[in-house]
Structure 1
Amino acid sequence: MHFKKAFAVLAPSVVAVSLLVEPASAGVMMQGFYWDASASGTSWWNNLGSKANELKLAGFTAVWIPPVTKGASGGYSNGYDPFDDYDMGSKNQMGTVATRWGTREDLQKSVAMMRANGLDVYVDMVLNHRNGDDGSWNFKYADAYGVVGNGNGRFGKGYYDFHPGFKSQDANVPNDDSSFGRDLAHDSAYVADGLKKAGDWMTKSLDIQGYRLDYVKGISYTFLKDYLNYGAMAGKFAVGEYWDGNRDTLNWWTSSAMGNRSTVFDFALRDELASMANSGGYYDMSRLDHAGLTGINPSQSVTWVENHDTDGHNPISKNKHLAYAYILTSEGYPTVFYKDYYNYGMKSTIDNLIWIHEKIASGSTQQRWKDGDVFAYERMGGNHLLTALNDNGSSARTITVQTGFGANVKLHDYAGRGADVWTNGSGQATITIPANNYVAYSKDGIGGTFATANYAVTQEFAGASDLDIKPADNTQLVTVGRVYAQSGKPITANLYYDAASWTGSTYIYLELDGPTGTKITSNNFYTSTAQPGTITYTPTSTGWYTFKIRSYNTPTANQKPNYWLKTTYTAPQK
């Protein structure tokens, strides 16, 4: 028998209205990895790129990818033990060139393929700490020639770049925990400037659209605001991992501390959803009424059901479909966990809910019914959406609720669980919610599918001796990098270069080779050339196109000039 405490049922006319209105379609994010993810026979970056088309056609709008820089445990690292800020899988360090997820080249191709399908890409940024020093707090990195030493690789660090070496912690750090590694001193001008420049370099190298900020409790929020407003990072999306179940604390961080510059994951709502799903029908469903940060500040809330951390130690073990039904019909920006979607058999359920989220759910929320077993609410924008969840594992429930659809309107359950119904002359609807299930009603006749949006990327290759790509060598032709381009879509390369001390005979030679290794086009750029120097080519076949560079007749003061090659191209969708 199903036992629950008795709760008073609110009459259909009694409503609660949310404080803020969400945009019509906030999109749906995929967390594109999990803790022990690996891809047999290929890199994880290639795996994500290969799934870009199906994710976009399913209605996803963004993919959150794992940390991209080399970790202290090399090929075994998930990226949360970051070592070198300028190694995205291109330097032979920590026993490997590639990161756990693949090479820099794989990564750039994956991002380009996601953009070719119209997906935004968010990178997981670990800014709290660094790992892998020599035991004495010294971080030394390989340069573009593979040489390791003081000052060889860019943004080396020492004892006084960390706490407590620099000084005591910044007062604007909410809750410092140095157990994750050497605790970066964000209040050091050198560290702050170095992190911002590294973030700018990474953003330009990949052409990404936003950031997931790891462990923001340990980071000065004054620094974070400056960081997110620096260079190529300015204006891009951000979401912080502030692990706290108090929605007022989450609201303080995103609104007051960060001045709305970053959204935040709604841990308070996730706690409620975990209690609801794991309680097996013994949860008070009325607690879902405007729950979590989403209930008071939905425009700054990123909602979620599972992630790489909770999946391992605090998972939702049952009834997860109810949790996804809630976040994908509610306000806030919902996140789907890769493992739930691909590994745990929830793809078809989630696909249907994404369609509902993107095609119907919009506007503010009115509560329409709540008791111990059932919670029903209506999204008031667009065509309106009436969602009801029943956590009773043995009994269906039938309720009559007031709606905003109007009188005598045919309603269809787009979740496919309930029969079509009509509102009565007063706009009320009588709906039945199956046991341990949900319904999602709106006006009959809504349709539509999802389409891709074919975006090009602009990915920058920066050449300098202290980076991962060699400068314009005056003794040999060196490879700048490769791009994986779609046939029929132009490749444009804009070259900026350091012409200091050049003479009239000094020049840089830039070459583009095709998939077979044959030179396709090239050009020479002199001190008199207006920058950027440009070469263009429209591929006749899809594949890898390689840029190579060399300098000639360079002066002693600038024998191997630095350069910045901005490549714009379109990757294939599949």
Structure 2
Amino acid sequence: MNILKLLFSSPPAPLSYMKLGPDGSQDNPLMIQFFTWDAESTTTSWWKHFEDEIPTLAELGFTQVWLPPPNKAAHPKGRGYDAYDLWDLGEFEQKGTTATRWGSKEELLSACRVATEHRIDIIIDAVLNHKLGADGVEKLKVVSVDPQNRLKELERQEIEGWTIFNFPGRGNKYSALHWSQEHFTGLDWDQSTQTQGVFKIVGKGHKGWSKNVDRELGNYDYLLGVDIDHRHPEVQNDFFAWGPWVLETTGAVGFRLDAIKHIDRKFTLRFVRQVRMIATNSRMFSVAEYWSGNINAVLPYTRAFKGETAFFDVPLHMNFHHASQHYSRYDLRNIMNDSLVKNKPGHAVTFVDNHDTVEGQSLESWVGDHFKIQAYALILLRGTGYPCVFYGDLYPNSECYNENIARNLKLLIKARKLYAYGGTQDYLSSKNCIGFVRLGDSRHSGCAVILSNREDSFDTSNSDFVHSIRMNVGRSHAGSTFQSYLTTDGRVEIDAEGWGEFTCFAGSAQVWVKL
């Protein structure tokens, strides 16, 4: 019976065992994505900017920082997603620069040391899908495919492709692997004819597209640049060596896995497991980017990875985006429906926005300013999921900063650290107003949260419309007074049974805490 139970039992939820914060801490853990797409410090390097902000981040309650890809990019100002050399962290003169866009290796390692001193963990952005910025071309036998259906072959031909990676600045330091066409499955440029397309490399030794990828566009193995063949033994060995090396070098505790819908699932699962084993870190953190707003597409991936990685809750983000688009027409009682955090809370890293969702970016789906704080209240103050705050919402920047949002976001972050503990009780009052209560624990008094998406124009005769929900905060608070936290002028008296009448203005959010 015990053997049968073992065979058919589900693996533990990743957020239940992975390292999210300092050992022994009873405070809520919290992640921040510490960059935007165009992030660049004008007075110092980005790594030095991060190092300077670490004490403030620790005081606010952040326990993990997702940093941008630290590897050498194809261009001096490349973000690292145009990955040229994963083994170059800003150490070698390559691609016209020694430092990366973000700074030198020495500056990166200095910031990582300071973060560790402040009990903040580093998360490395692992770009394992593709390479760009090759050092040379070679002749390739390919078949062009329909960009909208990569399973439809069009024409067999010979092209010149940028598939030679010799890393002349680094040589064989750290890794002796020099890449050529045998390590790739496809590319998008023929140098001889200056033609763009999607070309699948064929010929001896090539196996075509991986079948263990997303089925969008027929087969979504190819995304951009020169697509890596993760079935090649030399590729696998190089990545399996790089993973533990970059963790040990930086002191990081884990990875954000970029673009996994395009990478062979079997490889990615093996990568996470191998690195955990080699690094002797069973609690290594891992969160995967599988970009789909369809929960029915996401759930099979969570099962395929057998509890080895968490996932960003893209369906919840899309709910927030749609809510901000539809204003008071959106029914807030449905806001958590069809999200990962509702279906598999132990797998869900929740977020409101990131570098790709900003207006004008590749995955544009920005959550409007009028709904931003309501969305953050839902991920920061509820009891399920692991939230990630976006740098662009918290720090001044040219892409998406709103001073009022940043001010209220800081208050929500502090409320998470001080009050948001214990069980969660929902009050789905009406289409345009919902609330929830965190019941607290032996060390924290809990809080009551109410939020609205009703527009000021909803009732032109009363632009100061106030919502009200009767919620129970527990009999232990009988006779006490709760105060509004995002403002300081509100009071709610709690009756002998623990009930109180909590309010917020139309189109806003409010947090109530015990005086």
TM-score when scaled to structure 1? 0.69
Q: Deviations over 1:516-558 (max 9, x none)?
A: xxxxxxxxxxxxxxxxxxxxxxxxxxxxxxxxxxxxxxxxxxx
Alpha carbons of 1:206 and 1:152: their partners in 2 closer, same or farther (altered >3 Å)? closer
Alpha carbons of 1:152 and 1:55: their partners in 2 closer, same or farther (altered >3 Å)? closer
2:172 paired with 1:170 = no
2:413 paired with 1:354 = yes
Give the counterpart of 1:38 among 12, 37, 40.
40
2:495 paired with 1:424 = yes
Alpha carbons of 1:239 and 1:33: their partners in 2 closer, same or farther (altered >3 Å)? same
| Cα distance between partner residues in 1 of 2:117 and 2:414 | 21
Contact kept? 2:55, 2:118, Cα under 8 Å: yes
Q: Deviations over 1:25-65 (max 9, x none)?
A: 54111111111111113211111111111111111111110
Give the counterpart of 2:471 among 401, 404, 411.
401
Q: Which residue of 2 aligns with 1:224?
A: 268
Q: Which residue of 2 aligns with 1:482?
A: none
Q: Which residue of 1 aligns with 2:343?
A: 296
Structure 2: which 5+ runs fail to align? 1-12, 21-25, 139-162, 186-200, 457-464
Q: Deviations over 1:475-510 (max 9, x none)?
A: xxxxxxxxxxxxxxxxxxxxxxxxxxxxxxxxxxxx
**Within 5 A, what are the aligned runs for 1:371-386?**
371-382=430-441, 383-386=445-448
Structure 1: which 5+ runs fail to align? 1-18, 446-574
Say which is worse superposed, 61-70 or 417-426, in terms of deviation. 417-426
| CA-CA distance at 1:130 after TM superposition | 1.0
| Cα distance between partner residues in 1 of 2:15 and 2:272 | 25
Q: Which residue of 2 aligns with 1:415?
A: 486
Classify the secondary structure of the residue corresponding to 1:347: helix
| Cα distance between partner residues in 1 of 2:174 and 2:473 | 67
Contact kept? 2:466, 2:506, Cα under 8 Å: yes
Give the counterpart of 2:386 among 330, 333, 338.
333
| Cα distance between partner residues in 1 of 2:500 and 2:15 | 24
Q: Which residue of 2 aligns with 1:367?
A: 426
Q: Aligned partner of 2:295: which letter?
A: R
Alpha carbons of 1:26 and 1:183: their partners in 2 closer, same or farther (altered >3 Å)? farther
Give the counterpart of 1:236 among 284, 288, 292.
284
| Cα distance between partner residues in 2 of 1:182 and 1:65 | 24
| Cα distance between partner residues in 2 of 1:362 and 1:88 | 39
Alpha carbons of 1:189 and 1:393: their partners in 2 closer, same or farther (altered >3 Å)? same
Classify the secondary structure of the residue corresponding to 1:178: coil
Contact kept? 1:121, 1:209, Cα under 8 Å: yes
2:210 paired with 1:158 = no
| CA-CA distance at 1:404 after TM superposition | 3.6
Classify the secondary structure of the residue corresponding to 2:329: coil
Q: Which residue of 2 aligns with 1:317?
A: 368
Classify the secondary structure of the residue corresponding to 1:271: helix
| Cα distance between partner residues in 1 of 2:318 and 2:174 | 47
Say which is worse superposed, 330-339 or 361-370, in terms of deviation. 361-370
**Within 5 A, what are the aligned runs for 1:26-175?**
26-73=28-75, 75-133=76-134, 134-136=136-138, 137-142=163-168, 144=170, 154-163=176-185, 164=201, 166-175=206-215
| Cα distance between partner residues in 2 of 1:405 and 1:291 | 33
Classify the secondary structure of the residue corresponding to 1:281: helix
Alpha carbons of 1:381 and 1:135: their partners in 2 closer, same or farther (altered >3 Å)? farther
Contact kept? 1:56, 1:119, Cα under 8 Å: yes
2:231 paired with 1:187 = yes
Q: Aligned partner of 2:182: which letter?
A: Y
| Cα distance between partner residues in 2 of 1:153 and 1:192 | 13
Contact kept? 1:390, 1:396, Cα under 8 Å: no
Q: Which residue of 2 aligns with 1:571?
A: none
Q: Which residue of 2 aligns with 1:552?
A: none
| Cα distance between partner residues in 2 of 1:25 and 1:266 | 22
| CA-CA distance at 1:381 after TM superposition | 4.8
| Cα distance between partner residues in 1 of 2:15 and 2:131 | 40
- Structure of greater Rg: 1
Give the counterpart of 1:200 among 225, 229, 244.
244
Classify the secondary structure of the residue corresponding to 2:410: helix
Q: Aligned partner of 1:335: which letter?
A: C
| CA-CA distance at 1:153 after TM superposition | 6.0
Contact kept? 1:143, 1:152, Cα under 8 Å: no
Name the one with the larger helix percent.
2
Q: Aligned partner of 2:119: which letter?
A: G
Q: Aligned partner of 2:129: which letter?
A: N
Contact kept? 1:418, 1:439, Cα under 8 Å: no
Contact kept? 2:254, 2:284, Cα under 8 Å: yes
Q: Aligned partner of 2:300: which letter?
A: W
| Cα distance between partner residues in 1 of 2:511 and 2:430 | 18
1 or 2 for the larger relative contact order (CA 8 Å, sep ≥6)?
1
Q: Aligned partner of 1:34: which letter?
A: T
Give the counterpart of 1:391 among 447, 453, 460.
453
**Within 5 A, what are the aligned runs for 1:239-254?**
239-254=287-302
Say which is worse superposed, 216-225 or 45-54, in terms of deviation. 216-225
Q: Aligned partner of 2:385: which letter?
A: G
Contact kept? 2:30, 2:61, Cα under 8 Å: yes
Alpha carbons of 1:381 and 1:300: their partners in 2 closer, same or farther (altered >3 Å)? farther
| Cα distance between partner residues in 2 of 1:290 and 1:364 | 19
| CA-CA distance at 1:135 after TM superposition | 2.9
Alpha carbons of 1:375 and 1:417: their partners in 2 closer, same or farther (altered >3 Å)? farther
Say which is worse superposed, 86-95 or 358-367, in terms of deviation. 358-367
Q: Aligned partner of 1:264: which letter?
A: F
Alpha carbons of 1:408 and 1:214: their partners in 2 closer, same or farther (altered >3 Å)? same
Q: Which residue of 1 aligns with 2:331?
A: 284
Aligned length: 420
| Cα distance between partner residues in 1 of 2:439 and 2:304 | 31
| Cα distance between partner residues in 1 of 2:292 and 2:379 | 18
2:316 paired with 1:269 = yes
Alpha carbons of 1:289 and 1:205: their partners in 2 closer, same or farther (altered >3 Å)? closer
Contact kept? 1:248, 1:293, Cα under 8 Å: no
Alpha carbons of 1:265 and 1:189: their partners in 2 closer, same or farther (altered >3 Å)? same
Alpha carbons of 1:85 and 1:53: their partners in 2 closer, same or farther (altered >3 Å)? same
Alpha carbons of 1:386 and 1:327: their partners in 2 closer, same or farther (altered >3 Å)? same
Alpha carbons of 1:169 and 1:113: their partners in 2 closer, same or farther (altered >3 Å)? same
Give the counterpart of 1:214 among 258, 261, 267.
258
| Cα distance between partner residues in 1 of 2:28 and 2:237 | 33
Contact kept? 2:14, 2:347, Cα under 8 Å: no
